[in-house]
Amino acid sequence: MNNKFISSLVLASALVATPLVKAEVEDPFALRVRWLIVSPDVDSSPISTIGGTASVDTNITPEIDISYFFTDNIAVELISAITRHRARANGTIAGNVNLGEVSLLPPTLTLQWHFLPRCFVNPYIGAGINYTYFFGVNPGPLATHIEYENSFGGVLQAGINFNFRPQWHINLDVKKVYIDTDATVQLVAPPVLKTSIDINPLIVGVGIGYRFG
């Protein structure tokens, strides 16, 4: 996780180091709404006492984001979405265990380089950071309480804007978001179970955006 986080920050730093050419940017703000497919790529440590590993399911959710263009090529994007997932413990000594549901709020900030900003097809890449807040935990039928630790992580991004009107575009966006957490599960009776989970979702989004300023 640390190496992936560092690589994201290195890429973001490289983009920051690109000279900011002072230029008047027409309509520097962009507001978008997207639908996201959030597909976790889960890797967990063995669950204490009962063995097995944790899993988190895929979800589809709406998202809203806003960008600010420093130049035609360089922008920052702030993304906000809430996604809810079902969690399970798989392959334990008790079989597969339902661990209920949890909501994630991972506000994400990326720095982007847009290759062809005034063309119909404008690809871009980005990198940045996210902070993931876990809330709304439903512990399921076998646990009385589950706690997830909030975390910081890196983000890698690539996408395309299809500028079909001067101020309107269709957006296709892919992100790899690095999210890890330590989970503590309190069952009806002892023991307390613990595991570390790398959620690391691949997020694919499609939506529409509007430039203004």
Neighbours of 9 (CB within 10 A): 15
Q: Mean pLDDT, the chain, as a whole number? A: 92
Residue 9's pLDDT is what?
Answer: 53
pTM passes above 0.85: yes
Residue 94's pLDDT is what?
Answer: 86
What average pLDDT does range 17-27 have in this prediction?
Answer: 63
Residue 42: C-alpha distances to residues 1, 55, 143, 183 (Å): 12, 6, 21, 13
Q: How many domains does the chain have?
A: 1
What average pLDDT does range 37-41 have in this prediction?
Answer: 98
**CATH at 168:** 2.40.160.20
Classify residue 21: in a domain, yes or no.
Answer: no
pLDDT in tens, 123-160: 999 999 999 999 999 999 989 999 999 999 999 999 99
Classify residue 163: in a domain, yes or no.
Answer: yes
120/197 Cα distance (integer angstroms) = 41
Q: What range defines the domain where residue 180 resides? A: 2-16+31-212
Classify residue 26: in a domain, yes or no.
Answer: no
Classify residue 22: in a domain, yes or no.
Answer: no
> Which of 210, 201, 211, 196 is closest to 58 using CA atoms?
201
